[in-house]
A and B are shown apart, each in its own frame.
Chain A
Amino acid sequence: MTESIKTITKKVGLPRLIISSFFVFLIIASIGLGLPLDRTLTNIIRRFGMFGVLVLAMVPAIQCGIGPNFALPLGIICGILGEIISIEFGFVGFTAFIVAILISIPFATIIGVGYGNLLNKIKGSEMLVAAYAALSVVYFMCIMWVTLPFKHPQMIWPIGKGLRVTIALEAFFGYVLNDFADFSIAGVHIPTGLLMFFLLCCFVVWLYTRSKTGMAMKAAGDNPKFALASGINVDRSRIIGTTLSTILGAVGIIVYHQSYGYIQLYDAPQYMGFATVAAVLIGGATARKAKISHVLLGVLLFQGLLAVALPVANEVVKGSNLAEVLRMVIQNGIILYALTQVVGGE
């Protein structure tokens, strides 16, 4: 008996076991507290689709060997640029969403290639440098948001300079995916378009990892020396992986914002990298290995947990941000756990 428990624990992983049982516990608690289950489930599903693509961005980064991409804010900023340029040109509705993605991709490609080159020069310290490079770029872009000459009246402050802190997307492309072919079962709202788009992205990435370049990228990440010996250009593979991750980050934030209903500018993207890294790690990825299934499980567990925790925590202690505390502990705890699993260089 204990043997089988041990094997199960080993297979599923202790952190996943703890987090999923906590997740189940919170759902039961929410029912016990009399919170409506349909609304809870709606929230879980919505957040699952909302964060999905952002977390998916971790897969190519980890597979190509640069580790969890703490510099996701670089991609996020490219996505935001795409969004506001699309709005500035006067697009609305679904077109605005597509145009935003199309504009953001070239930006993300350029940034991704440049950043990938940089990472090739600092092998072994990617994570820390990435975190700080991203933070400084976020603040550099804050200066840009104030000074760039955008004119659209719904994006800039009526008085003063620069873009607003949050831009409402209702009139542009807010909820275009969420409301696409959506329906409700027993009070649970299913945002079909959002889920379809996320799964489509997953499929594309999965397909890519099965392609020749994708295989090469994975090999380069698994064992750089062996890959080099078999004639794979490791540095190039790492650049491709980084670029892909940055592009997915850009697309991810556009999906996130359309589902959220607002664009958040200024310092909002600064800690998003950590949350996405945590999600994929909760799903079972390590700093060296990641699969699509890790993304699906990780987003469901992490974002689902937070979606349930918010109302439950509010019920337990009124008006506190206990859910935020929970997020900090789980998010950073899982990253720490993953770091201890990396065999350190002596």
Chain B
Amino acid sequence: MADVNNLEAVQENKEKSFDIKDFLINNMVTILFMILCIAGVYFSKLPMFFIVNEIMTRLTRNSFLVLALIIPVLAGMGLNFSITIGAMAAQISIIAVTHWQVQGIWGFLLCAVLTVPIAMLFGNLVGRLLNKTKGQEMIASMIAGFFANGLYQFLFLFLVGKIIPVNNPVLILDNGVGVRNTVDLSRNNGIKYVLDNIWKVPIFHFVIFTGLLIIAYGLYRMYRESKSKATKVSKAKYIIISIVGLVILAFGIVVNSSNELSQTLKMISNLKLSAGTGLVVLALCLFNVLIVKTKLGQDFRTVGQSKHIASVSGINVNKVRVIAITISTVLAGLGQLIFLQNIGTLNTYGSHVQIATFAIAAILVGGASVSKATIGQALLGVLLFHTLFIVSPKAAKELFGDAQIGEFFRSFLAYGVIGVSLGLHAWKKTLKAMRK
């Protein structure tokens, strides 16, 4: 018995030992994107101040939506393309709340309260649909998004005004039928920035905070590892993480206290991060971590591993799958609320259309796959994907003299990343099946 254990340990050691070639192959997409981002930032010649500001806004604005993708992956349902439907739930409630003219933070909270039941209903329906299309969940959820978009347009182009009487010239088109293309959510009229403005923190305070957080994480993991039989490699990993945290912390402190900064850094240090939104995102990260520890989370994982084993061990597979999609849809709805309160205008027929594509492209860029997605991958993905989004039009203009090329290029990359990642995953699956 001891021998067997020993053998396993040796094997584990082998697996964990750092192989640079494997690392490069497994993280190809992420590394490629990093290179593209660095090149893009360099060639775009955009001021650092602008880039940092944009990245910060987009990180707080988009992370929640991307994090909403994690639970269905855990439950083995792949990437949930139907988060679009959650976004529709959010937009329905925003339009209702704008009509009732509830403003400010109360308006936002009312939106959230309304979004949850609507998204739960939608998520439940999508979940049932996906139970009928097992094995093809992703394409089914994608088409379900398109289908729901049709119904959504039917609701707001036709039913509102024709069947549902709404008398509100700000919202409704001049002929009395249908909601306008854009709904203004600006501050004296709606929910713009209500969450973002709750608590603003200077960016380098945030840097210090992040540094501390990373160090704490590294030390905690090291403490845990030293208790168990830790391998040297994993120990080294956490030491490196702690050192990185230390560097970030030192950088933050230096910038914060020094008076002799370069012009760029000085400008950047004036930027403020929306900590309120950041906290909400952090709460979702915690939720994603904690749910795995519950009975439900374990059920998700079991179903994700094997539907057959799960059902044999008494788990109601279909029910668990419906719950996973419902949670994801509700989170997507809340994510869309956060997104829209930052954007400030609701594009009634357009705001939700692309979010699934962009969120999924982002999480895949971060290194996730159909069967594995972590919080770190989601956040890294948002960072990389949106950096490229910011710089690519300008970079293309500088390089080719045409900003349009950059816009096409980023759409090409977004769709291409999804296609390639899903293709690679399917290919690996086929190889595995062939070896069996």
- Chain A residues whose CB sits within 8 angstroms of the CB of B426 once the complex forms: 121-125, 129
- The reply to whether A317 and B158 contact each other, CB–CB distance below 8 Å, is yes
Stretch of A14-22, A94-102, A130-138 on the interface side: A130-138
- The reply to whether A121 and B430 contact each other, CB–CB distance below 8 Å, is yes
- The reply to whether A127 and B136 contact each other, CB–CB distance below 8 Å, is yes
Q: Is B411's beta carbon under 8 Å from chain A? A: yes
- Chain B residues whose CB sits within 8 angstroms of the CB of A13 once the complex forms: none
Q: Mark A143-168, 1 if CB is under 8 A from B, else 0.
A: 10011000000000000011000000
Size class of the contact patch on chain A: 35 or more
- The reply to whether B136 and A344 contact each other, CB–CB distance below 8 Å, is yes
- The reply to whether B415 and A135 contact each other, CB–CB distance below 8 Å, is yes
A128 to B408, CA, bound (A): 21
Q: Mark B140-172, 1 if CB is under 8 A from A, else 0.
A: 101110110111011001100010000000000
A136 to B419, CA, bound (A): 8
A136 to B408, CA, bound (A): 9
Q: Is B366's beta carbon under 8 Å from chain A? A: no
- Chain A residues whose CB sits within 8 angstroms of the CB of B158 once the complex forms: 317, 320, 322, 325
- The reply to whether B412 and A136 contact each other, CB–CB distance below 8 Å, is yes
Chain A residue with minimal CB distance to B132? A340
Shortest CB distance B331–A (Å): 22
- The reply to whether A332 and B146 contact each other, CB–CB distance below 8 Å, is yes
- Chain B residues whose CB sits within 8 angstroms of the CB of A140 once the complex forms: 408, 412, 416
Q: Is A333's beta carbon under 8 Å from chain B? A: yes
Given A317-B177, A342-B133; A127-B154 close (CB under 8 Å): no
Given contacts A132-B419, A140-B412, 10 further A-B pairs with CB under 8 A are A122-B426, A123-B426, A128-B138, A136-B419, A139-B409, A139-B412, A325-B158, A336-B147, A344-B134, A345-B135
Q: Mark A72-114, 1 if CB is under 8 A from B, else 0.
A: 0000000000000000000000000000000000000000000
- Chain A residues whose CB sits within 8 angstroms of the CB of B138 once the complex forms: 128
Shortest CB distance A78–B (Å): 18
Q: Mark A318-338, 1 if CB is under 8 A from B, else 0.
A: 111110111111011101100
Contact among B139, B146, B307, B422 with A346 in the assembled complex (CB-CB below 8 Å): B307
Contact among A121, A128, A143, A322 with B405 in the assembled complex (CB-CB below 8 Å): A143
Contact among B129, B146, B175 with A328 in the assembled complex (CB-CB below 8 Å): B146
- Chain A residues whose CB sits within 8 angstroms of the CB of B157 once the complex forms: 317, 320-322, 325
- Chain B residues whose CB sits within 8 angstroms of the CB of A133 once the complex forms: 419, 423
Given A147-B400, A322-B158; A332-B177 close (CB under 8 Å): no
Contact among A123, A138, A319, A344 with B133 in the assembled complex (CB-CB below 8 Å): A344
Binding site for B on A (CB under 8 A): 118, 121-125, 127-129, 131-133, 135-136, 138-140, 142-143, 146-147, 161-162, 274, 317-322, 324-329, 331-333, 335-336, 339-340, 342, 344-346
Shortest CB distance B355–A (Å): 16
Chain B residue with minimal CB distance to A313? B158
Q: Is B429's beta carbon under 8 Å from chain A? A: yes
Q: Which residues of B in the span 323-347 have a Cβ within 8 Å of any Cβ on A? A: none
Contact among B140, B153, B154, B400 with A339 in the assembled complex (CB-CB below 8 Å): B140
Jot down 7 A-B pairs with beta carbons below 8 A, ordered by A.
A122-B423, A132-B419, A139-B408, A143-B405, A146-B402, A344-B136, A346-B134
Q: Is B297's beta carbon under 8 Å from chain A? A: no
- The reply to whether A336 and B129 contact each other, CB–CB distance below 8 Å, is yes
A325 to B154, CA, bound (A): 6
Q: Is B427's beta carbon under 8 Å from chain A? A: yes
Shortest CB distance B216–A (Å): 39
Shortest CB distance A188–B (Å): 31
A326 to B409, CA, bound (A): 32
Given A122-B430, A319-B175, A342-B133; A129-B150 close (CB under 8 Å): no
A-B pairs with the 5 shortest C-beta distances? A328-B150, A344-B134, A132-B419, A136-B416, A136-B415
Given A133-B419, A317-B158; A325-B150 close (CB under 8 Å): yes
Contact among B142, B153, B308 with A131 in the assembled complex (CB-CB below 8 Å): B142
Chain A residue with minimal CB distance to B140? A339
Q: Is B418's beta carbon under 8 Å from chain A? A: yes
A324 to B146, CA, bound (A): 12
- The reply to whether A129 and B423 contact each other, CB–CB distance below 8 Å, is yes
Chain B residue with minimal CB distance to A127? B139
A333 to B151, CA, bound (A): 10
Q: Is B178's beta carbon under 8 Å from chain A? A: yes
- Chain B residues whose CB sits within 8 angstroms of the CB of A128 once the complex forms: 136, 138-139, 142, 422
A128 to B429, CA, bound (A): 15
Q: Mark B388-402, 1 if CB is under 8 A from A, else 0.
A: 000000000000111
- The reply to whether A124 and B430 contact each other, CB–CB distance below 8 Å, is yes
A40 to B157, CA, bound (A): 25
Shortest CB distance B82–A (Å): 11
Contact among B129, B144, B422 with A125 in the assembled complex (CB-CB below 8 Å): B422
- The reply to whether B419 and A332 contact each other, CB–CB distance below 8 Å, is no
Q: Is B27's beta carbon under 8 Å from chain A? A: no
Chain B residue with minimal CB distance to A143? B408
Chain B residue with minimal CB distance to A336? B143
- Chain B residues whose CB sits within 8 angstroms of the CB of A336 once the complex forms: 129, 133, 140, 143-144, 147
- The reply to whether A340 and B419 contact each other, CB–CB distance below 8 Å, is no
Shortest CB distance B406–A (Å): 9
Chain A residue with minimal CB distance to B133? A339
A143 to B423, CA, bound (A): 23
- The reply to whether B150 and A332 contact each other, CB–CB distance below 8 Å, is yes
Chain A residue with minimal CB distance to B422? A129
A333 to B146, CA, bound (A): 9
Q: Mark B171-212, 1 if CB is under 8 A from A, else 0.
A: 000010110000000000000000000000000000000000
- The reply to whether A329 and B143 contact each other, CB–CB distance below 8 Å, is no
Contact among B136, B147, B402, B422 with A332 in the assembled complex (CB-CB below 8 Å): B147
A138 to B419, CA, bound (A): 13
Q: Is B11's beta carbon under 8 Å from chain A? A: no
Shortest CB distance B176–A (Å): 10
Given A132-B418, A133-B419, A133-B423; A335-B143 close (CB under 8 Å): yes
Shortest CB distance A303–B (Å): 17
- The reply to whether A118 and B423 contact each other, CB–CB distance below 8 Å, is yes
- The reply to whether A325 and B153 contact each other, CB–CB distance below 8 Å, is yes
Q: Is B298's beta carbon under 8 Å from chain A? A: no
Q: Is B270's beta carbon under 8 Å from chain A? A: no
Shortest CB distance A23–B (Å): 18
Q: Is B404's beta carbon under 8 Å from chain A? A: yes
- Chain B residues whose CB sits within 8 angstroms of the CB of A332 once the complex forms: 143-144, 146-147, 150
- Chain A residues whose CB sits within 8 angstroms of the CB of B401 once the complex forms: 161
A332 to B149, CA, bound (A): 10
- Chain B residues whose CB sits within 8 angstroms of the CB of A121 once the complex forms: 423, 426-427, 430
Given A131-B142, A333-B147; A345-B134 close (CB under 8 Å): yes
